[in-house]
Amino acid sequence: TADLKAEAQRLGFDLVGIAPAAPPPHAAQLESWLEAGYAGEMAYLARNAVRRADPREAVPGARSIIVCGIHYRAAEPDPALWNDPGRGRISRYAWGDDYHDVLLPKLRALQEWLESRVGRARLGRSYVDTGPVLERPVGVMAGLGFQGKNTLLIHPRQGSWFFIGEILVDAELAYDAPQSIGGCGGCTRCLNACPTQAFVGPYVLDARRCISYLTIELKGPIPRELRPLLGNHIYGCDVCQEVCPWNRRWGRFTTHESFQPRPGIVAPELIELMRLTDDEFRARFKGSPIKRAKRRGLLRNVAVALGNWGDPAAIPALVAALNDHEPLIRGHAAWALGRIGGDDSRHALESRRAVEDDAWVLEEIDLALAALTHAAMST
């Protein structure tokens, strides 16, 4: 096990711990969380619920889980850009390369090293949030930290800005003990700071209200009542990590080149993003986690952020988006124009309404026009 950990560090992992392949603490709570509907459209969580609750169901004969972590937090953004409502906020984890492409080859290399040491051709499987593993509870078992009230895995001397991946193996290794220090105590900063109040209570997240879910996992329209709460978040959210005292004091910065910010990624101009074509989107976000949202998802989010910004400078880009080939983008552009207002917005909405054939987009246009009418009568 000592040699294994040394090899993990040689491969570039910042954290490594070993847990027994057994049901993690609180695994039974997954079922009640799913039954409450808190997973939203993430149906894959329910499909693999039994396997998630017991690693031995995922890899028969598994005896140990190797949990590895890599820091991803880069330098702090320029406040002048980060706090500009005309620029989008992107979660720090997506500033660099796709973490799956970085972690998985390292995990497989570590697995191959272990296989060569024990003399077997194959003895397990490697996962980076793509397998049926309750990663954060397993991380707690492996001594990588405690699970905070924001549900994240927090290392008491390194914070929570790290990715984790696992290797399930049928070899018995020396297990690490859970951390004896750490915990949230009476702190509720993350719960109070959440822009959409997504926490039902400590340790319980309603993903349907979480900005990360709404801007990444949700494939359809963002609920209208939540759109104003997103501000200028266009891909993910770090608020519950930013306010965490453990991160403020102990949060580590990454030394890995793969997670350094790509040019123009930290706080991109919203109007510029709103004009991206399909080809431009693919070229700009090749190898980035942002490609997961697809162009229609990202521009949906950008349209909401432009509506929240409320600057008339965004009207031309939103008017152009009213004619986009994606209904998801057209509908959210209509909402944003209704928020910004003005004669140009009204004329564009009326013109699009005359040719629109998507029922949901028509509904968004009508609601936007009604909002404009109401605003005009109020003044």
DSSP string, 202-247: TTEE-GGG-HHIIIII--SPPPTTTGGGGTTEEE---HHHHT-HHH
Q: How far apart are CA 42 and CA 54, in angstroms?
A: 20
CB–CB of 165/98 below 8 Å? Answer: no
Pairing of strands 199-201, 204-205: antiparallel
Q: Which residue carries 């013109």 as its tokens? A: 351
User: What pLDDT, on the 0 to 100 scale, is given for residue 60?
Assistant: 85
Is position 129 annotated as part of the catalytic site? yes
Q: How far apart are CA 211 and CA 305, in angstroms?
A: 12
DSSP string, 134-188: -HHHHHHHTTS-EE-TTS-EEBTTTBS-EEEEEEEESS--PPPPPPSS---TT--
Torsion sign, CA atoms 300, 304, 305, 309: positive
Residues of the chain with pLDDT under 50: none
Q: How far apart are CA 241 and CA 99, in angstroms?
A: 18
User: What pLDDT, on the 0 to 100 scale, is given for residue 335?
Assistant: 98
Q: Residues 3, 129, 278, 311: which is the catalytic one?
A: 129
User: What pLDDT, on the 0 to 100 scale, is given for residue 121?
Assistant: 65
DSSP string, 30-99: HHHHHHTTTTTT-HHHHHTHHHHH-HHHHSTT--EEEEEEEE---SPPPHHHHT-TTB-EE-GGGSSS-H
Q: How far apart are CA 212 and CA 205, in angstroms?
A: 11
Q: How far apart are CA 194 and CA 108, in angstroms?
A: 36
User: CB burial class (10 A; 0-12, 13-18, 19+) of residue 54?
Assistant: middle
